[in-house]
Structure 1
Amino acid sequence: MRTNSRGFTLIEVVMALFILSLVLSSTLFAVHQYADERLRIRDRILANQVAWNHLMENYQYSQKLASRSPGDSLKTKGVDTQGGQDWRWEIKVEKAMGQDLYRHEVQVSLEGSDNFQSSLAVYLVGK
């Protein structure tokens, strides 16, 4: 009597499960990295929005800078809420080379963090 079994051996099943576990773990790692990168990009975009908002506010009030003495620099700090998070911002305005030319630099970070998420600088002409 001859039996013709057509199943998988234990070694074949173990190897298939091992390969499947490698594929699934690498996929899980890739998904985790993607989620982390999305959070970093979101934070960077929100920080840039805060920085641009304050640069535009400074631009609207740049006429006041003409009355200052040439060597002065101005620093302003504050906290804004954007996207449900508190963002610490700091604006530094200083006289640049040239007549009536001022450098406005904004640095933005998450409240409680020392690392800046965004740093923007523009040059504005005082009137």
Structure 2
Amino acid sequence: MNSTRRNRRSPGGFTLIEVMIALFVIALGVGALLATLASSADSAAYLREKSLAEWIALNRISEVRLGNSRPSAGTTRGTVEYAGRTWRWQQTLNDPGIAGILRLDVMVAPQDADARPAADDANAEFPALGRAIGFIGTSVAPALGNIPDWSPAAAPSPPGGAGAPGGAGTPGAGTR
């Protein structure tokens, strides 16, 4: 009876050790996949924050360019609400040595609840997440601040009347 058990082949199933090895390999794969997903999510969040910071820096340059008065050289700091978050910016206006040109460097960082406000020292480190550089020239007059009326009622009438097809103001009208 003992010899018949030995000669019988086991059914086509897996042994316990094979199942354990397979589960170990699957666990390694799932762990690597989760690490990759977490890294991807962190990268996406960082790139979103960096994009927002750079947009704020570019907006700040546009605000300075469109301002009614020319800014003076030096460093200025401030905060802005953008995308549901408070951001702090620091702008430095320098004279690059070219007549009529000023260089504007803007750095932006998120204003965290536990972070201290920007230091008053101009040489203090500013942990910028976004940066932008712009130039301001004196060859173009600053914006006057008045907004033109762009409504159709304010537009002048075209030369030659209403300009309807075949009308008196249309070239070639009446030349048949």
Q: TM-score, normalised by structure 1?
A: 0.86
Which residue type is aligned with residue 124 of structure 1? I
* Higher strand content, 1 or 2: 1
Q: Aligned partners of 2:81, 2:69: CA distance in 1, in Å?
A: 27
Residues 121 and 102 (structure 1 numbering): CA distance in 2 closer, same or farther, change over 3 Å?
same
Tell me what 1:90 maps to. Answer: 90
Cα deviation, residue 63, structure 1: 5.1
- Distance in structure 2 (CA, Å) of the matches to 1:123 and 1:62: 16
CA–CA distance in structure 2, aligned partners of residues 86 and 49 of structure 1: 14
> Does residue 125 in structure 1 map to residue 137 in structure 2?
yes
Distance 1:82 1:13 in 2: 54
Higher-Rg structure is 2
**1:24 to 2:36 alignment:** no
Q: How far, CA to CA, are the matches of 2:68 and 2:61 in structure 1? A: 10
State, as a whole percentage, how many aligned pairs show the same letter. Answer: 25
Distance 1:62-1:121 versus aligned 2 partners, 3 A rule: farther
Unmatched 5+ stretches in structure 1:
none
Residue aligning to 1:110: 110
- Matched residue count: 121
Query: 3-state SS of the aligned residue for 2:98?
Result: coil
With a CA cutoff of 8 Å and minimum separation of 6, indicate the structure with the bigger relative contact order: 1
Q: What residue in structure 1 maps to residue 53 of structure 2?
A: 47
Letter of the 1:126 counterpart? T
- 2-side partners of 1:125 and 1:5: how far apart? 86
Instruction: Extract structure 1 runs of 4+ deviating beyond 6 A.
Output: none
CA distance in 1, matches of 2:77, 2:65: 16
Q: Give the letter aligned to residue 42 of structure 1.
A: R
- Cα distance, 1:62–1:104 mapped onto 2, change above 3 Å: farther
Residue by residue over 1:62-89, the C-alpha shift from the partner in whole angstroms, topping out at 9 and shown as x without a partner, is: 7525xx6xxxx23221111111111100
Deviation readout 1:77-116 (Å, 9 max, x if unpaired): 1111111111100111121211111000100001145521
Q: Go from structure 1 to structure 2 and tell me whether the alpha carbon gap of 1:115 and 1:64 turns closer, same or farther (over 3 Å shift).
A: closer
Is the partner of 1:64 in helix, strand or coil? coil
Q: Is the 8 A contact 1:62 1:126 kept in 2?
A: no
The Cα shift of 1:5 comes to: 1.4
Is the helix fraction higher in 1 or 2?
Answer: 1
SS in 2 for 1:7: coil
1:37 aligns with 2:38: no
Task: Report how far residue 3 of structure 1 moved.
Answer: 5.7
Give the AA of the match of 1:49. Answer: W
